[in-house]
Amino acid sequence: MHHHTLSENLSIATNASENAEHFHSTTADFWVKFWPYFITAIAFYGLLSVAWILWNIYAYRRDLSSARKGQFVGRLHEKWRLLSVYDQIPHNSKSVASDAPLISVE
């Protein structure tokens, strides 16, 4: 077992505290340099989250109001028709081409 002398112990302790100070100063420099980018990214993320939530509320209400007007049934039929095109479900009409266009603009 190796025993350090008092001066060796002091130098080890001094090195450790110097390393800790150096670490803290470099992390401080890092934060000072980059925190505006982090704040900007977080703010942008928050903004997009709010926009996404508002868009979902708008889309939900739009679907709800169109369902009250009876347009929802048409939309369900359209979805089923698209599925029948892609999954080759047997379809009542002669051909898909004679049907309404694939994309309907509301």
Structure tokens at 22: 């150096």
Give Cβ neighbours of residue 9 (< 8 Å, ≥ 6 apart).
none
Phi and psi at 58, nearest 5°, equal -60, -45
Average pLDDT across the chain, whole number: 77
Above 90 in pLDDT, residue 18? Answer: no
For residues 71 and 54, is the Cβ–Cβ distance under 8 A? no
Sign of CA dihedral 93, 98, 103, 105: negative
- The residue that leads in pLDDT, 96 or 71, is 71
Mean of the pLDDT values across residues 68-87?
73
Q: What is the pLDDT of residue 101?
A: 56
Single pTM value for the model: 0.40
Residues constituting the chain: 106
| Segments making up each domain of the chain, as ranges | 6-52
For residue 10, the surrounding DSSP H or E stretch is: helix 6-68
